[in-house]
Amino acid sequence: MTETQTAVHDGETAVESRGHFINGTVVPGAGEPIRRYSPATGELVAAFANGSPADVDAAVAAARTAFDTGVWSELPGLERGRVLLRFAALMREHVDELTALDADEVGNPRRVARANVLGAIDDTEFAAALAGVVHGDVHTNLGTDFTGMMVREPIGVAGLIVPWNFPTLVLCQKLSFALAAGCAAVVKPSELTSSSALLLAELATAAGVPAGVLNVVTGYGDRAGQHLAEHKDVDLVSFTGSTATGRKIMAAAQENLTRVALELGGKSAQIVFADADLDDAVEGVLFGVVHNQGECCLAGSRLLVEQRIAERFLDLLTERAAGLRLGGPHDEADLGALIHPEHLHKVLRYIETAVSEGASVRAGGHRLTGATHANGCFVAPTVLDRVTPEHRAFQEEIFGPVVTVTRFTDRDEAAELANAVEYGLGNSVWTKNIDTALLLSRRLRSGTVFINTTIDGSPQLAFGGYKASGFGREKGTTGLEEFTQLKTVQIRTGKRAGSFNLLG
Ligand code: NAD
């Protein structure tokens, strides 16, 4: 434990209270730290500084100075790329540590947490390669007297506010691209899962990211997060989280007209046609709803199934769901615990409400209370049949291992049902008919359409939402462009009388 960390006790258990990371160094927090208890076992696993507006001010000031002095933004892109490659290599060296931190705080099996950390490393390597590719455009067809240049510049100080469900992955989808573009960043991780962001800041610094370019302030959203979003020295707020908080971020950024990018909630459909490979579709639909125990923005939480195969499909699905294993970070499990007890009860209330509105429980529907699960927030994978678009469970993001089932008869009805929610993140279509696949890919109003797959992705492919799932795109070349702005430079190379059209 370093001098800047203090111990926090809970009975026999003691953890270090982690400080903020500002201007290249760990800064201890003031006041009572935020305690994080394992969602799987109830044990104390971490403690973080409860960041204040003053901590945010210090982090933004460090980022502003670092950006304005050009220590990072003015490096050749290839040099920034080399540092980011070293950062990715250090992440790979610390993959077990990052995995353990995320799994302990999220409550998911390490296997799942590890896959997400590896995804974050892929994103960082891809962003490193892009750092050297950032360029503008030259216009030489403006007439003989003019040359025009469109120059792409880093936007400046980026405020990155991220949620708890995939701490390392969601952060790197922003951070690695922001750094590749030449920005300086202030990160506000979730108060529930802040450890990996702090470790990432140390690794980035060890890789050669200069002091002040990457800062992390831990703390609550309505205090530290809100102050970051409304800060006049922040040039862009890139936010991932719930749609409700996204609205607050926009309101906070309004006064300074700060640019915002929002990755918000989802209520994605899994549309299964009778001509699909049903075994494949069952696996995919199940994965779509239990991956990360359903705490995934892309969760395929609405099954739309063609009427004539509905019963057979549901039999297969419920049989597979019943065989899934639930467990914590140290268990061989398919899915883990929900993030905290209040969320567990919220998910259970959604199930009760659905039943009171006319849904029937085909699988799960309850909390696990046996000896191995009693101290954790475990909900059995749940299939709610006979759900209609009027039901809350059809419309609202439940964020747990719960899938609703609605039957359809043709492609038109399938598309209409899929689009009948406010969200538009990543719908899936399961079919072997190319016409159906292409038609649906056009008709579905979501930022991603998956055909015969789900919750997939790749650093090269842009990711983002339609409708209330947000705007802006992460990953791909667009993911880097999000952190830049265009400047037009118009050069007059000749002098022609009367060219300004003045009378005198
Ligand atoms: P959340 O909106 O509660 O919190 C997200 C972050 O915002 C946290 O760091 C939180 O502290 C902060 N925050 C809260 N109030 C704030 C305020 N007033 N001002 C500034 N910051 C504030 O979301 P969550 O519960 O952490 O995460 C779950 C949500 O995230 C789900 O809705 C999920 O769909 C969404 N999500 C979306 C994506 C995507 O890419 N579209 C990815 C992952 C998660």
One digit per residue, the tens of pLDDT, for the chain of length 504 reads 444 567 888 887 889 889 999 999 999 999 999 999 999 999 999 999 999 999 999 999 999 999 999 999 999 999 999 999 999 999 999 999 999 999 999 999 999 999 999 999 999 999 999 999 999 999 999 998 899 999 999 999 999 999 999 999 999 999 999 999 999 999 999 999 999 999 999 999 999 999 999 999 999 999 999 999 999 999 999 999 999 999 999 999 999 999 999 999 999 999 999 999 999 999 999 999 999 999 999 999 999 999 999 999 999 999 999 999 999 999 999 999 999 999 999 999 999 999 999 999 999 999 998 878 889 999 999 999 999 999 999 999 999 999 999 999 999 999 999 999 999 999 999 999 999 999 999 999 999 999 999 999 999 999 999 999 999 999 999 999 999 999 999 999 877 656 777 876
Q: How far is the CA of 298 from the centre of ligand 1 (A)?
A: 14
- List where CATH 3.40.309.10 sits in the chain: 269-451
Q: What span, in angstroms and rounded, lies between the C-alpha atoms of 427 and 165? A: 20
3-state secondary structure of 262: strand
Query: CB of 391 within 8 A of CB of 231?
Result: no
Closest residue by CA, ligand 1 atom 42: 297
Query: CB of 194 within 8 A of CB of 18?
Result: yes
Q: What span, in angstroms and rounded, lies between the C-alpha atoms of 211 and 342? A: 38
Q: How far is the CA of 328 from the centre of ligand 1 (A)?
A: 23
Atom of ligand 1 nearest to the CA of 244: 2
DSSP state letter for 166: S
What local confidence, expressed as pLDDT, does residue 88 receive? 98
Q: Token pair for residue 287? A: 């994965």
Active-site positions read 263, 297
SS (H, E, C) 368-418: CCCCCCCCCCCECCEEEECCCCCCHHHHCCCCCCEEEEEEECCHHHHHHHH
Atom of ligand 1 nearest to the CA of 242: 32
Q: Pairing between strand 484-492 and 20-22?
A: unpaired
The CATH number given to 269-451 is 3.40.309.10
- List where CATH 3.40.605.10 sits in the chain: 53-264+469-488
CA torsion 207-209-210-216 (nearest 10°) is -110
Q: H or E element: which one contains 150?
A: strand 146-154
SS (H, E, C) 43-98: CEEEEECCCCHHHHHHHHHHHHHHHHHCCCCCCCHHHHHHHHHHHHHHHHHCHHHH
Closest residue by CA, ligand 1 atom 38: 297
Q: Ligand 1: which of 105, 240, 338 to mutate, judged by most atoms within 8 Å of the beta carbon?
A: 240
Closest residue by CA, ligand 1 atom 7: 221
The candidate with the shortest Cα–Cα distance to 166, out of 45, 269, 298, 25, is: 298
What local confidence, expressed as pLDDT, does residue 1 receive? 44
Query: CA 288, 289, 292: angle at the middle one, nearest 5?
Result: 90
The candidate with the shortest Cα–Cα distance to 344, out of 42, 112, 39, 34, is: 39
Q: How far is the CA of 320 from the centre of ligand 1 (A)?
A: 31
Go through 189-222 and write b for each residue having 16 or more CB atoms within 10 A of its CB, e for each that does not: bbbbbbbbbbbbbbbbbebbbbebbbbbbbbebe
User: Cβ < 6 Å from ligand 1: which residues?
Assistant: 161-165, 170, 188, 190-191, 220-222, 225-226, 229, 240-242, 245, 248-249, 263-266, 297, 397, 399, 425, 465, 469-470
Q: H or E element: which one contains 113?
A: helix 110-131
Q: Which alpha helices (DSSP H) does 213-372 contain, by range?
A: 226-229, 243-254, 278-290, 310-322, 341-356
Q: What span, in angstroms and rounded, lies between the C-alpha atoms of 195 and 102? A: 8
The candidate with the shortest Cα–Cα distance to 72, out of 201, 236, 158, 184, is: 184
What is each CA distance from 307 to 271, 311, 359, 403, 410, in whole angstroms?
11, 8, 17, 17, 9
> Which residues, including other chains, have CB under 8 Å from residue 209's CB and lie 6 or more apart?
72, 83, 87, 179
Q: Ligand 1: which of 245, 298, 427, 475 to mutate, judged by most atoms within 8 Å of the beta carbon?
A: 245
Q: What span, in angstroms and rounded, lies between the C-alpha atoms of 347 and 447? A: 26
Q: What span, in angstroms and rounded, lies between the C-alpha atoms of 238 and 192? A: 19
Q: Token pair for residue 422? A: 């406010």
Q: How far is the CA of 125 from the centre of ligand 1 (A)?
A: 25
**What is the torsional sign of CA 113, 114, 118, 120?**
positive
Atom of ligand 1 nearest to the CA of 263: 41
Q: How far is the CA of 51 from the centre of ligand 1 (A)?
A: 17
Q: Residue type for 39, please?
A: P
Q: What span, in angstroms and rounded, lies between the C-alpha atoms of 159 and 221? A: 13
Q: How far is the CA of 225 from the centre of ligand 1 (A)?
A: 10
Q: Token pair for residue 7? A: 């111990």
Atom of ligand 1 nearest to the CA of 219: 11
Answer CATH for 53-264+469-488 from 3.40.50.10420, 3.40.605.10, 3.40.720.10, 3.20.20.150: 3.40.605.10
Q: What span, in angstroms and rounded, lies between the C-alpha atoms of 464 and 254? A: 22
Q: What span, in angstroms and rounded, lies between the C-alpha atoms of 460 and 497? A: 50
